Amino acid sequence: MLYRQPLKKLPKFLPKFTFWQLGVFLSLLLGIVLFAWTVLSQQPITLNLLMTAPDAQPWKQGMVKEFEAQNPGIRINIIEGPNATNLVEDLYTSAFILGDSPYDLVNMDVIWAPKFAAAGWLLDLSDRISPEELKAFSPKDIEAGRYEGRLYRIPVRSDVGVFYYRQDLLAAAGYEPPETFADLLKISQALQKDKKIPLGYLWQGKQYEGLSAMFVEVLEGFGGFWVNPETLEVGLDRAETLQAIEFLRSTIKEGVSPAGVTTYQEDETLNLFKSGQAAFIRSWPYLWPIANEESSPIKGKVGIKPMVRAPSKNSGACLGGWGLGIAKSSQHPAEAWKAIQFFTSKEAQKQFIFQAGYVPSRRELFTDPDVVAKYSHYPQLLEVGDSAVLRPPLAQYAQVSDILQRYLSAALTNQMTPEKAMKAAAAETRRLLGT
């Protein structure tokens, strides 16, 4: 029969197949190809993102596990970066500039979106989320994620500068919490003189982004400004800026703040405060749960209030916070959007708040009964956040901030007089912005 005949046309070096044998061989081959394709297509997709190492822990322990359990086809790979926002920004920046970036999601500080969007590194998310859905978030937080009217970042966790005081010490000595810069110095010195506490006030004075965040608060408290994002006017060489610097310098001169404060980031100040060495600190809301841990020597002894200010001026709280965008170079934008929807959802945020003590980006959670039962001060944080001061949302923000950090640090460490330093900082900023 024909189908049992060897194939005559095959080259000589190949074994002779019958039609029947060839049929079996081809079916087997097809089976193998189909199997490999099915296995490969079921391999989970990995979404990479980078964040500061301390931030990564609560993400990995909570939200990421939950997301992966609900989405078996997607893995989240968090790469742990250095513990300073500007250093993480540099890593994202160099990856995007060099091309072939490994990142799918971009975990952005509130100040990065204009730069990243202007450089073309982010996907435009405007059409993926309705104006109705955006109303769930703080307007300032959403605005910070826009560039030229388009949206590039959805807030995951908000942050706002907070002033903490040792309730127990003030009550025992008969003081109200300080309202003004002058009160702060006076009460600190009195407590220190009476040997109630070694240090008065802790703030972040190292040359890094935290210095700019802290400084906008003092500047606002004296009625000054840094850069007006609308007019690009620069306020660094004005009298209010010099008063703000003078206040910070006086905290060191008077021994209210330790000399080392000009080398401290958030963690160094937190450690000193937590170990009971200082009466006051400027920090972020993450400090609260840490100060109130079971093992903390200052558990239950800490009060919180808006930042101190000059008489008749506004109290300034810096708007911080983190949100997610999608890298334009990502091969998996649909999965990345799914992850963003999950991480910004009410349920995921609630879990995140309880676990890490972070502040949500969804407004309703600030007053959610479960949340308030654990953190009674969250409704107050919502108010403080609504009137918070923004660092200028400019595409050149990183350079603008670098200029301020360098000259402010020089003024605080007595390498330059404040006048000379701010004159130079203002001139350099104007040159950069072309004003």
Residue 269 burial class via C-beta count within 10 angstroms: exposed 0-12, middle 13-18, buried 19 and up: buried
Task: For residue 180, give the 3-state DSSP assignment.
Answer: strand
Among 74, 108, 110, 142, binds ligand GLC (CB under 6 A): 110
Residue 244-283 contact track with ligand GLC, rule CB under 6 A, x = bound: ----------------------x-----------------
Does position 114 bind ligand GLC by CB under 6 A? Answer: no
- 50 and 92 in contact (C-beta within 8 Å)? yes
> What span, in angstroms and rounded, lies between the C-alpha atoms of 67 and 249?
47
> What span, in angstroms and rounded, lies between the C-alpha atoms of 402 and 92?
17
In angstroms, how far is CA 216 from the centroid of its own chain? 17
Q: Which two tokens stand for residue 21?
A: 């044998």
Residue 51-90 contact track with ligand GLC, rule CB under 6 A, x = bound: ----------------------------------x-----
Does position 213 bind ligand GLC by CB under 6 A? Answer: yes
Find all residues with CB under 8 Å of 162, minimum gap 6, and list them: 282, 283, 284, 285, 287, 288, 304, 306, 307, 317, 381, 384
Q: Which two tokens stand for residue 177?
A: 């919490």
Does position 285 bind ligand GLC by CB under 6 A? Answer: no
Among 89, 104, 159, 335, binds ligand GLC (CB under 6 A): 159
- 429 and 234 in contact (C-beta within 8 Å)? yes
Does position 205 bind ligand GLC by CB under 6 A? Answer: no
User: 326 has which bridge partners?
Assistant: 105
Does position 353 bind ligand GLC by CB under 6 A? Answer: no
Among 89, 104, 109, 428, binds ligand GLC (CB under 6 A): 109
> What span, in angstroms and rounded, lies between the C-alpha atoms of 338 and 335?
5
Question: Shortest approach of ligand GLC to residue 279 CB, angstroms?
Answer: 22
Q: Looking at beta carbons only, is 108 or 185 nearer to ligand GLC?
A: 108
Q: Looking at beta carbons only, is 209 or 428 nearer to ligand GLC?
A: 209
- Stretch of 3-11, 207-215, 222-230, 294-302 contacting ligand GLC, by CB under 6 A: 207-215
What strand order describes the sheet that includes 154-160? 105-109, 319-326, 154-160, 359-360
Does position 321 bind ligand GLC by CB under 6 A? Answer: yes
Question: Shortest approach of ligand GLC to residue 112 CB, angstroms?
Answer: 9
- Stretch of 209-217, 242-250, 378-386, 411-419 contacting ligand GLC, by CB under 6 A: 209-217
Among 177, 210, 325, 385, binds ligand GLC (CB under 6 A): 210
The residues of the shown chain that bind ligand GLC, judged by CB under 6 A, are 85, 109-110, 159, 209-210, 213, 266, 284, 320-321
